[in-house]
Amino acid sequence: MKYKAVLYDMDGTVLNSRNEASERARKALKAAQDAGVKLVVATGRTLKIVPALVHELGFDYAAVSNGASIYDLRTGERVY
């Protein structure tokens, strides 16, 4: 089965308590990207307080405010 997108929880999953991503997490994200999978971060935070590292890691979309909105992180456009 080929996945089109993978959603990741941000706090405690991709990011540790210092808002850092482990090398293991970085490798897993890169492998998914290389396979053509869209990366989506899911968080209870608002878009304004999503750490810059999420953008640097190459996430395509963010489901923020507990899923109330979804943004295209490449354009900043609200898609839902």
Please list the active-site residues: 9
Report the candidate in 37, 77, 43 with the shortest Cα–Cα distance to residue 63.
Answer: 43
Number of H helices, E strands in the chain: 2, 4
Side chain identity, residue 17: S
Task: Check if the beta carbon of residue 60 is closer than 8 Å to that of residue 72.
Answer: yes
Task: Check if the beta carbon of residue 74 is closer than 8 Å to that of residue 42.
Answer: no
